[in-house]
Amino acid sequence: MKKYILPSLKLTIVMVLLLGVIYPILIAAVGTMAPGGGKGEKVIVNGKEVGYALVGQKFTDDKYFQGRPSAVDYNAAGSAGSNKGPSNPDYLTTVQERIDTFLVHNPGVKKEQLPAELVTASGSGLDPDLSPTAAKVQVKRIAVLRHIEESTLIALVDKQTEGPFLGLFGPAKVNVLKLNIALDQLK
């Protein structure tokens, strides 16, 4: 029995040191080399901090593109999903309310045209990106409110669209905060 306990204890100590001390220190050191020093990439416009590039922001004014709903009301300290399944009656009621609200604010859009991401919260509740389709479905509303040609707004969405990572991994996406900043800068 001694023959098994001693090696097991040694392995446990080595793994605790490796995975509980060395690995976290290494990851923290790598994080400090990231933009923002591991604290997030602040977006600054005209010398004023307007948000973080990788954290979803709440845009409620109809003259802006709106991102995914958040189960935690965009509170980064409480990042989480709703944990309600697709057959949960409360969840279905919440999604239907979001659909109804979106359709009221976007009268030219039919329910079938509405991307699911605009009425369902992301797993983290802080998703900063939309698909180009979800951004473009909002163009008509913004064009009317801002008196801008729809074609200009579609070109803006296309310009702000980031392709898949290395051209292969993940979908094309549009950062909503950066898109709204570019929208405000249109002349």
pLDDT in tens, 76-133: 776 666 677 788 888 889 889 999 999 999 888 889 989 988 888 877 767 888 999 9
Query: Taking the model in full, what pTM does it have?
Result: 0.78
Domain ranges of the chain: 51-184
Query: Does the structure show a pLDDT above 90 at 160?
Result: yes
Res. 186 pLDDT band, cuts 50 70 90: confident
The confidence score (pLDDT) of residue 73 equals: 74
Exposed, middle or buried by CB within 10 Å (0-12, 13-18, 19+), for 114? Answer: middle
Res. 43 pLDDT band, cuts 50 70 90: confident
Please compute the mean of the pLDDT values over residues 63-73 and round it to a whole number: 85
The confidence score (pLDDT) of residue 80 equals: 67
Q: What is the CA radius of gyration of the chain?
A: 22
Helix axes 150-160, 176-184, angle to 10 degrees: 130
Confirm if 115 and 99 have CB atoms less than 8 A apart.
Answer: no
Please compute the mean of the pLDDT values over residues 129-143 and round it to a whole number: 93
Instruction: Give the pair of three-digit tokens for residue 98.
Output: 């979001």
